[in-house]
Amino acid sequence: MIRGEILRRAIHLSGIIIPLGYLFGLWEKTTIAFVLTVLFFLFLTTDLIRLMSPTFRNWFFSHFPGLVKPKENKRLLGSTYFSFGALLATILFEKKVAIASLLFLVVGDQVASLVGKRFGKHRINGKTWEGTITCNLACLGLSLTILPVIASLTGSVTAALSELFISRYVDDNLAIPILSGLVMSLVLLYQ
């Protein structure tokens, strides 16, 4: 792995502090929402300046080499979508669903990528079935610790399929927590 990819993964995985802090009662919903709002606007502002100012863009790339994926050169970074997706999940969903959807975002997406790149042989939409299956299993295992089986199963499948199919049109950092959280909420509502 190149240095930039390792740094991106480390930053992404550091997001685990949000659902774990929420799960163990270190922070309340309002505190998490406030912090995520600040982060979102910080990332969004930085992205917009980077996209509009060649001088700032050059400075950004020279100080943070490898942090930007090639597909993100002319669009918002994953960190902006991550903070927005996490913020929406925290605000929209009840605590356990929000925690599960945030765990899916932090862990599921990463294991899909790692397994897909290392062991993936069957490609679809630029992703691999191996990564998708691993994402589903990781999300299922995580959510079973806090949610009923049916909600966990439907949520994990939704997260994995969002990562595989929807991320072609909507950044997976936004699609995974929102779609999986919505499905889990609906299942819990009618269970």
Q: How far is it, in rounded angstroms, from Cα 85 to Cα 106?
A: 11
In this prediction, residue 157 carries a pLDDT of 96
In this prediction, residue 42 carries a pLDDT of 97
- Whose tokens are 């998490």? That residue is 32
In this prediction, residue 1 carries a pLDDT of 46
Count of beta carbons in the 10 Å neighbourhood of residue 190: 7
What is the distance between the terminal CA atoms of the chain, rounded to a whole angstrom? 44
| DSSP classification of residue 127 | E
pTM of the model: 0.91
In this prediction, residue 189 carries a pLDDT of 95
In this prediction, residue 122 carries a pLDDT of 85
- pLDDT tens for each residue of the chain, 191 residues long: 467 777 778 888 899 999 999 999 999 999 999 999 999 999 999 999 999 999 998 898 888 777 777 777 788 998 999 999 999 999 999 999 999 999 999 999 889 888 888 897 888 877 888 988 999 999 999 999 999 999 999 999 999 998 878 777 889 999 999 999 999 999 999 98
Written as one string, the DSSP assignment of 51-107 is: HH-HHHHHHHHHHSTT-S-GGGTTS--HHHHHHHHHHHHHHHS-HHHHHHHHHIIII
In this prediction, residue 2 carries a pLDDT of 67
